[in-house]
Structure 1
Amino acid sequence: MQGPLAGKAAIVTGAARGQGRAIALALAEAGADVAICDVGAAAMPTVGYAMGGALDDVARAIEAQGRKAVAMACDVRDQSQIDAFMAATLEAFGRLDILVNNAGILTGGRPAHELDDAMWTTMIDINLTGAWRMARAAVPVMIVGGEGGRIVNIASVAGHVGTPGYAHYCASKHGLMGLTRAMAGELAGERITVNALCPGLVDTPMVAHATDEVAAARGLSTEEAYELQLTPHLIKEKITAEQSAAAVMYLVSEPARVVTGSALMIDAGWSAV
């Protein structure tokens, strides 16, 4: 199978469903071998929705496109699990060209002063520190490979604006933007680009749970809650996981080799006003 990414190897974290799944399948369609991971737990303290998903199904869909796949449970809060996942990726592919840091959680509904330590720490550890840990494992491999690389951090419009009730989420995504920009400067000489994708409201199970929370808190139907959450969107549409994946595909493309330290906004105009 040929494609613009033929001969390349990629990692996508949080790939069992939603944006991660769509990104992994888009990379495979473009010709890349893809290693995928997800937390591998049905539930997590402080997170009120089901975690993980059918990671093996995603791996089979990658292989159905004629590409190699690696699928492992991996909690990005645990460096030993990350190292094991990286070792399995290198054993299977022998190289690493692309890292998409997609693993993340979304909880909210209360002001910052009412968050407890576990809520704050879990959010930062997964959304921000987890991306740093994964990059810390990936960058030396890319440097040794000598062909450059692409790192895409899935941030959020919440990395640019403040969203009341989601202070810990905003802090994690603002932090991810800072990490993106600093690493872009550090790695430019190695021909490794580091960029962030910043979606608005994406139609995923994670966002659906947040919508249900808003509906329950305000006595709204799910449809009414979605309409409320779409208020900051200038274009009154939910963003699809496939639209996020298409934006990632640009950032890992050959034309984007001179794009680094950027934030690609796919937020339906949220950050424009």
Structure 2
Amino acid sequence: MNRFDLTGKNALITGASSGLGRHFAQVLSAAGARVAVAARRTERLAQLQSEIETHGGRALPIELDVCDAVSVRAAVTCAETELGPIHLLVNNAGIANSKPVLELAEEDWDRVMDTNLKGAWLVAQETARHMVRLGHGGSIVNVASILGLRGTGQVASYCAAKAGLINLTRAMATELAREDIRVNALAPGYVITDINRDFLKSKAGEALLRRVPQRRFAELADLDGPLLLLASDASRYMTGTVVAVDGGQSAIV
């Protein structure tokens, strides 16, 4: 039996229009899941839907603003109506703001906290309510970061939000365990994407690389195994766990 198989499962992925979220949707679809791909930029979701369905999968694009509770409720309802019970949530939507802490404006702070922490809570709460109402349990994977485990300069709001998300993961895991809902966090290190590729090749990127014991940045594919572990029955006795995928960076004191 392949416990990583997601055939017959329905998944909701937030922040699916680009980067990690887009890749996660493709990975879950390839493992057999029907995927509801949600984001604000719906034009990109249509392209993702086409790619997934070309390979024999089923994808449902949904417009979603994770900071808006009404939008969140509508998205979860749409996913349930069109695909059926939601067995899996990948809570991936997030943004960053790079500024020195003394120059960080209140609106900059609020925007990052609202998206990365409040937004994640709203989607996780609504999806968990759905799972409890239908009584089928499920898995919630919150996409955190190693910067929620250790701080760094220039991204204070991001570090604070991801640290909050990690403790939110633990709190929800404790409360929802008896509902057969597992809540875990995936904490990537520096992952090469189209957005940061040039930066990671710069002198600043080279300095970051020296702090990674494996001496390389992650490729998107390096997250596939950990994601499928937390998404599937392979992790059925794991909840409240933070899985760091960072080449050993978080192991350095």
Distance 1:32 1:195, change over 3 A: same
Match 2:171 to one of 182, 186, 191: 182
Q: How many residues align?
A: 250
Partners in 2 of 1:4 and 1:65 — Cα distance? 17
1:69-88 to 2 correspondences below 5 Å:
69-88=59-78
Match 1:166 to one of 155, 158, 179: 155
Partners in 2 of 1:131 and 1:205 — Cα distance? 24
Q: Which residue of 2 aligns with 1:135?
A: 124
- The runs of 5 or more residues in structure 1 that have no matched partner are 41-51, 213-221
Q: Which residue of 2 aligns with 1:47?
A: none
Q: How does the TM-score come out when normalised to structure 1?
A: 0.86
State the one-letter code of the partner of 1:98.
L
Q: Which residue of 2 aligns with 1:226?
A: 205
State the one-letter code of the partner of 1:143.
V
Q: Which residue of 2 aligns with 1:44?
A: none
- How many angstroms does 1:208 deviate by? 4.1
Q: How does the TM-score come out when normalised to structure 2?
A: 0.93
Q: Which residue of 2 aligns with 1:63?
A: 53
Q: Which residue of 2 aligns with 1:123?
A: 112
State the one-letter code of the partner of 1:77.
C
Partners in 2 of 1:203 and 1:92 — Cα distance? 33
Q: Which residue of 2 aligns with 1:28?
A: 29
- How many angstroms does 1:224 deviate by? 2.3
Matched, 1:15 2:16: yes
Q: Which residue of 2 aligns with 1:204?
A: 193
RMSD: 1.8
- How many angstroms does 1:59 deviate by? 1.1
Q: Is the 8 A contact 1:106 1:207 kept in 2?
A: no
Matched, 1:103 2:93: yes
Q: Which residue of 2 aligns with 1:91?
A: 81
- How many angstroms does 1:205 deviate by? 3.5
Partners in 2 of 1:230 and 1:136 — Cα distance? 36
- How many angstroms does 1:140 deviate by? 1.3
Match 1:246 to one of 216, 221, 225: 225
Which runs of structure 1 show a deviation greater than 4 angstroms over 4 or more consecutive aligned residues? none
